[in-house]
Homo-oligomer: A and B are copies of this chain.
Amino acid sequence: MNSPQTIRLAVIDTDSGFVTVLSKRAEVAGWQLRVAAGAVPAEELVAMKLNALLLDPTAIGEGGWEYLKRVCGVLPDLGVIVCTGRSTVAQRVRGLRLGADDWITKPCHPEEAMARVEAISRRRRSRNESEAGPVVAAELEIRPDQYQAFVGGDSLDLTRREFELLHLLAGAQGQVLERETIYQRVWGYAMAHGDRSVDVFIRKLRQKLEKRSSGWSYIHTHFGVGYRFDPEPLTGAAGALGAPVAPEPAGEAAPEPLSQVVHNTFTAG
């Protein structure tokens, strides 16, 4: 389950008056607040698992725009609100186009700032909804409450990342997910060009799945695109390894009637 309402907000601003008042109110509202007076490296922002960032570019000086752009690029899921003094329409438009979600002009009432932070965070949260209950697919049972997956009661011994990846894929069963999307959702920030982490974890998952459930093929590769989770029984004589393999489940187990929807992946053969 997601944390109920707790908003995690970082504020980058040098206006101590504004920050002080905002902090007080945020504390009362039970928010998790982090304040800085200058640029915070993007990696740190990642580690903070923020909902939103309230930023006054003037606190950063020269590279304010650059910083805004970079943060928005690395953390496309982070709500970013610019809150600064007088500005021209052109500046505001530029900021919004660079990736900011909102732009507030100081002086502004902290209550309004908070309401806008909430509005931004609300959208973000609604996406992470659902997917709390256990998922069953073929022989596999995925239990979010344990951060683990099982086959016939045996744990797959998944690490945290492996589990999150599997959970994400299984939650989008039948759908092809691009690597960038996967990375973004599991790692929480944008994938660097050329990063192979997703591939490596897919391999690990496949190994562990194969070990416990060798009669099924769960993760399919879509060349040039990404991966798709969709349990398919392996027809061949593959499961010859003393595993309790139900040869041809023919009945309940198969999630899809093979007659129709057996969309082969292109690399399937």
Residues of A within 8 A of B (CB): 76-77, 89, 92-93, 96-97, 99-102, 109, 111-112, 115-116, 118-120, 122-124, 126-127, 129-130, 145-148, 150, 153, 155, 157-161, 174-177, 181, 222-225, 228, 259-264, 266
Taking CB atoms, residues of chain B closer than 8 Å to A112 are 89, 92-93, 96
Q: Which of B102, B118, B153 contacts A261 (CB 8 A)?
A: B153
Quickly give the copy total for this chain: 2
Q: Which of B97, B159, B228 contacts A115 (CB 8 A)?
A: B97
Taking CB atoms, residues of chain B closer than 8 Å to A146 are 174-176, 228, 263
A150 CB → nearest B CB, Å: 7
A160 CB → nearest B CB, Å: 4
B93–A175 CB distance below 8 A: no
A266 CB → nearest B CB, Å: 5
Bound CA–CA A259/B154 (angstroms): 10
B101–A119 CB distance below 8 A: yes
A164 CB → nearest B CB, Å: 10
Q: Which of B120, B155, B177 contacts A263 (CB 8 A)?
A: B155
Q: Name the residue of chain B whose CB is nearest to the CB of A266.
A: B157
Q: Which of B96, B111, B123, B181 contacts A118 (CB 8 A)?
A: B96
Q: Which of B93, B177, B181 contacts A111 (CB 8 A)?
A: B93
Q: Name the residue of chain B whose CB is nearest to the CB of A159.
A: B224
Q: Name the residue of chain B whose CB is nearest to the CB of A89.
A: B109
Q: Which of B109, B116, B126, B130 contacts A175 (CB 8 A)?
A: B130
A211 CB → nearest B CB, Å: 14
A150–B119 CB distance below 8 A: no
Q: Name the residue of chain B whose CB is nearest to the CB of A117.
A: B96
Taking CB atoms, residues of chain B closer than 8 Å to A145 are 174-176
A153 CB → nearest B CB, Å: 5
| Pairs of residues from A and B, 8 with the lowest C-beta to C-beta distance, nearest first | A96-B115, A160-B224, A93-B115, A89-B109, A153-B260, A157-B266, A96-B119, A145-B175
Q: Which of B97, B102, B124, B158 contacts A102 (CB 8 A)?
A: B102
